[in-house]
A and B are shown apart, each in its own frame.
Chain A
Amino acid sequence: MTEISAGTILAMNRDLARLTIDPGRVEAIRIEVKQLAAAIEQVRALVTFNSEPADFMAEFAIVAEAGKHD
C-alpha cells in the first residue's frame, strides 16, 4: 500500500503545484491521495502498451452500432 506523509503533501504543494496549503487540510488530503494512488496501483498491470485514451470513443461507437443490429 502506498504511504504518503504529511511532509510530502506540504512539499509537493509548495514546490510543484505552487499552492499554499492550510495545515488543517493536510491529513484529509493525505488520506485521499493514498486512496487514489492505491486505485491505479491495483489495475496498472491491465494497461497495455499500445492502447490510448482515444480507444474509448472508438469502443463507444462500436457498442452503439451493435445495438442497432439486434
Chain B
Amino acid sequence: MIDWATASLCEVADAIAAGRVSSREVTEACLDRVEAQEPVLHAFVEIDRQAAIAAAEAADRALAGGARIGRMHGVPLAHKDMYYRVGRVSACGSKVSDEGVRKETATVLNRLDDAGAIEIGRLVMVEFAMGPHGHNANYPPCRNPWNPEYIPAGSSSGSGVAVSSGMVFGSLGSDTGGSIRGPASVSGVVGLLPSRGRVSRAGVMPMSFSLDAVGPLARTVRDCARMLSVIAGKDDADRTSIDTPVPDYEGLLDIPGRLPRIGLARGYFDEELHPAIDRALEEAADTLRRIGFQVDDVKVPATTLGEISDLHPLVMKAEGAANHMTTMRGRSQDYTFEVGNRLQAGFFITAADYIQALKLRGTYLRLFSEAVFEHVDLLLTPLLSRPVPTIAETTGLQGGAYLDMVSGLTRNTKVVNYLGLPAISVPCGFTPEGLPTSFQLIGRPLAEAQLLTAAHRYEQATEWHRARPPLASRQAAA
C-alpha cells in the first residue's frame, strides 16, 4: 500500500489527475501526519483541517465533473507565513504583524491556486525572515525532523520541516541570504533560489528588496521544477520581475542535450570545510562525473567573495531598517530581542556606505563571472561548511558569538543573493550525527533550467532524496 504522504509532489499530482487517488485521501494523509508530529516539530502557525478537507473535496468534484485541471490539482501545500492572501492574517513571524487581515493576494499564491494547489495552513518562520537558525521566540521551538535536538535552519524553518516530514508536498520559502537553501539542506529536501526577477515578489513580505527572492522547497528536483514553472514569469504588480519567457522546466529535465560543465569550487567555499561534508561533496562530484558531466576544479575569487560576505549584511540591514522604521518607532518593544537588535543596527549605516555597497554589485558580478562562468556553466559548492548545530548550541548567543554563528550558517549562500544568481541545494549524504547534508549548484542569471537538469540527473543516480526522517510522534514529545 502506498503511503501517499511520503510520495513526491509530482507523483501525487499525477496520481490525482489519473484518478488513482483522490485529493481528499492525500490531504487526509498529510493532515494525519501534521496531527501526529506537530506537538514535536512545531512547523505550523495555523492549520485549518476542515477547510483543507473541503478544498480537497472540491478538487475531487471538479475532476469528476471533467473540469480542465492544472499541474498541481488537489495537491496540499503550505507556505512560509509571509505570503499575503486577501482576508487572512500573515504574521511574518512577529507580534508586530499578527493583527489585521491582508487586502491583497500574492501573485505566486494566485498562480498556485490557478494550478489547482490546495493551501492547508501557514508555516512558522523566523521573525521577519531575519535569522538562519530557525529560532523564533514568539512560537514554540520549530525542530529538525531528523533529530528534534537540532535546528531546522531558517528563516523558512517551517517550510523545510513540513516538506521533509510528510506534512505537505511542497512549500514556498523566501531567500535573502540562504533562507530557502539552508532549511532545505538540513531537512534533507531540495531548495531552489531563483535568479533575481525570475519570480514575482508582489504580495510577499519584503525584507531586503535588493536581495530577496521567492522559491520552492520540495522533496525532489522535479517537484521544484514543476513549482517554478507555475510561479515564474513577468508580473505587472512587481516591476522588478523580468520579462523573459518561462521554459517548461520540468519538461526540459528529460530532454537529451549537451550537459552543462561543472566547476568544483576551489577557494572560499572549501575553507574550514568539515571532513564529512568535504567527503560528501567529493563523492557528489565523482557521481556527476560517472554519469557524464565534466567536473573540473575552478578557482573562485576568494577575496572578492569574502568582501561580498561582509557587505551582504550591510545591504540587508539598511533595507530592513528602512522597511521597519515607522513600525519600530511605535512598537519597538514588540520585536524580539534578536531581530530588534539586527534591525536597529541598520539605522547606523550611512546613506553613503549603503550606496557604495550597492555600487559594487555590478563589479563583483563581473569579477565572479569572469572567474567562474568563462570556464564552466555551473559551480558546485558545499551548502554548509560545518555540520548542523543543535538548538542548544545556537540559543542565547550574544555579541560576536552570535554574529559568528549567523555568518557560519550563511557564508556559502548569502554571496549568491548579493550576485543575484540562481542556486539549488540538493541532498548528498548525512553527517556523522545523522543529519542531512547538501551541495549547492550556482548558475548564471536565468540558468534555472541548467541547474535543475544537472541536479535532476544527480538525483536520478542516487538515493538520498528517498530518505525520509522518522515519524516525530506524540510519544517523542512526552
Whether the pair B347, A67 counts as a contact (CB closer than 8 A) is: no
Q: Scan A28-57; emit 1 where CB is below 8 A from any B CB, else 0.
A: 110111011111101110111001110110
A56 contact from B325, B358, B447, Cβ within 8 A: B358
B344 contact from A25, A39, A56, Cβ within 8 A: A25
CA distance A47 to B355 in the complex (A): 10
- Residues on B with beta carbons closer than 8 Å to the beta carbon of A36: 313-314, 317, 345, 348-349, 353
Does A9 reach chain B (CB closer than 8 Å)? yes
CA distance A55 to B196 in the complex (A): 14
Distance of A38 from chain B, by nearest CB (Å): 8
Whether the pair B348, A20 counts as a contact (CB closer than 8 A) is: no
Whether the pair A31, B403 counts as a contact (CB closer than 8 A) is: yes
Does B29 reach chain A (CB closer than 8 Å)? no
Distance of B177 from chain A, by nearest CB (Å): 14
Decide yes or no: A29 and B341 within 8 Å by CB, A35-B403, A37-B353 being known contacts: yes
Decide yes or no: A56 and B365 within 8 Å by CB, A32-B403, A39-B310, A47-B360 being known contacts: yes
Among B33-41, B113-121, B394-402, B430-438, the stretch in contact with A: B394-402
Does B328 reach chain A (CB closer than 8 Å)? yes
- Residues on B with beta carbons closer than 8 Å to the beta carbon of A28: 341, 398-399, 402
Distance of A42 from chain B, by nearest CB (Å): 7
Can you give 17 A-B contacts (C-beta < 8 A)? Answer: A13-B347, A19-B347, A36-B317, A36-B353, A39-B310, A40-B353, A44-B356, A51-B363, A53-B362, A55-B359, A55-B363, A56-B361, A60-B420, A63-B369, A63-B373, A64-B445, A67-B446
Does B85 reach chain A (CB closer than 8 Å)? no
Does B377 reach chain A (CB closer than 8 Å)? yes
Whether the pair A19, B342 counts as a contact (CB closer than 8 A) is: no
- Number of B interface residues in the complex (CB < 8 A): 47
Distance of B377 from chain A, by nearest CB (Å): 7
Closest to B407 in A: A35
Whether the pair A31, B400 counts as a contact (CB closer than 8 A) is: yes
- Residues on A with beta carbons closer than 8 Å to the beta carbon of B349: 36
Closest to B445 in A: A64
- Number of A interface residues in the complex (CB < 8 A): 46
CA distance A19 to B333 in the complex (A): 11
Whether the pair A40, B311 counts as a contact (CB closer than 8 A) is: yes
Whether the pair A31, B361 counts as a contact (CB closer than 8 A) is: no
Whether the pair A53, B359 counts as a contact (CB closer than 8 A) is: yes
Does A17 reach chain B (CB closer than 8 Å)? yes
CA distance A1 to B357 in the complex (A): 18
Distance of B278 from chain A, by nearest CB (Å): 28
Decide yes or no: A43 and B311 within 8 Å by CB, A12-B347, A60-B420, A67-B377 being known contacts: yes
Q: Which of A17, A36, A67 has the most CB of B within 10 A?
A: A36
Decide yes or no: A63 and B341 within 8 Å by CB, A39-B310, A47-B360 being known contacts: no
Does B133 reach chain A (CB closer than 8 Å)? no
CA distance A4 to B343 in the complex (A): 17
Q: A24-B337, A28-B341, A66-B369 are in contact. List 14 more A-B contacts (CB 8 A).
A: A12-B347, A22-B333, A25-B340, A32-B345, A36-B313, A36-B349, A38-B310, A39-B313, A43-B311, A48-B359, A51-B362, A59-B362, A63-B366, A66-B444
Whether the pair A63, B445 counts as a contact (CB closer than 8 A) is: yes
Whether the pair B365, A59 counts as a contact (CB closer than 8 A) is: yes
- Residues on B with beta carbons closer than 8 Å to the beta carbon of A40: 311, 314, 353, 356-357
Closest to A20 in B: B332
Whether the pair B377, A47 counts as a contact (CB closer than 8 A) is: no
Whether the pair A60, B365 counts as a contact (CB closer than 8 A) is: yes
CA distance A56 to B361 in the complex (A): 5
- Residues on A with beta carbons closer than 8 Å to the beta carbon of B400: 31
Whether the pair A53, B347 counts as a contact (CB closer than 8 A) is: no
